[in-house]
Structure formats: structure tokens, C-alpha cells
Amino acid sequence: MNRARFKTRFLGGIMSWFLGLSMVTHVMASESTDAREVIWVSVAEKELLLAEMRAFLEASQIILEGSLADDMDVIEKVARSVGIKMMRGTPKSLHEKLPLGFTALGPKAHRGFEAIADEASGMGDREVVLKHLAELQKTCNKCHSIYRFEVNN
């Protein structure tokens, strides 16, 4: 088996393990009281925020694949798409109703993607890209462990 194929399978295995762990954690959490802070939003606001988070997740996957392929052009493009440009697209009315802690973590995530894009367009060191992504994932995990969205009726 060649090295690239091994890396792809290895990464896929790790991602499958994390997904399985996430599913187990979700089942366990649903059986207990969810102590995360509730952020009350409208249906449209919740859809917007969740779409943004899915975009982060999709971008993270593409960055991992791009790193394995050493494709810095793809990494830069996808990281920029969820960076500062996306952050500036958040409606001011929504931003104003979000708790301070959440509004600190959101921009940190967007800037994390910008740092990845900057590295990809600069030196293009995939080890540095992966270190940035690992640090960025800590921000995502922190936010998900603290907050949850509920819809106002």
C-alpha cells in the first residue's frame, strides 16, 4: 500500500472513530440534562448559525484532504470562504442578541480559518496548516460544549 493511500485510510479511520465517539456522547447527553447555556433565536437565525457551523465542518474536512494532497490552493480557497468574509456576513441584529462569550468564540474561529488561508498562500507548510486546524478545533469544541440554540416561540 502506498504512503498516500495509507494516510487517507488512517485519517478516515480516525475520523470514523471520532464520529462514533460523538454519537455515543450524543446519546448519553440526550439521556441527561443538557447544562449548556441556551441561546434563544428564531428559526431563521438558528438555521443561519447551524449552516455556518456546517460550513466550518466541511471546510475542516477539505483542509484535511488538501493537506494530505499537499494542495495549498484548495486549502486557501476553502479557508477564506469561512474566514472574515463569512463573519462580516452575519446580520448585526443577530450578533447583538448573542452572549458575549459566544461572540468572542465566533470571530476566533473565523480568524483561525484566515490564519490557515494565510499559511496556505504564504509558506504553504502543511504541518503548520494542520497545527492551525488543531487549534481551531479546540475553539469549535469549546463553543459546542458551552452553548446550544433553542427556538423562541
- Whether 26 and 95 map to the same domain: the answer is no
Cell of 82: 469561512
Considering the domain architecture, whether residues 57 and 86 belong to the same structural domain is answered as yes
> Contact at 8 Å (CB) between 41 and 152?
yes
Q: Is the pLDDT of residue 57 over 90?
A: yes
**Higher confidence at residue 90 or residue 137?**
137
Instruction: Indicate the helix (H) or strand (E) that contains 40.
Output: strand 37-41
pLDDT score of 153: 75
**Per the structure, how many domains does the chain have?**
2
- Residue 16 — pLDDT band, cuts 50, 70, 90? low
Mean pLDDT rounded to a whole number for the chain: 88
Q: Within this chain, do residues 24 and 47 fall inside the same structural domain, yes or no?
A: no
Domain range for 2: 1-32
0.85 exceeded by the pTM? no
How far is Cα of residue 150 from the mean position of the Cα atoms in its chain? Answer: 20
List the one residue out of 57, 103, 47 whose CA is nearest residue 82: 57
Q: How many CB atoms lie within 10 A of CB 48?
A: 16
> How does residue 77 score in pLDDT terms, banded at 50, 70 and 90?
very high
SS3 134: helix
Shared domain for 59 and 128, answered yes or no, is yes
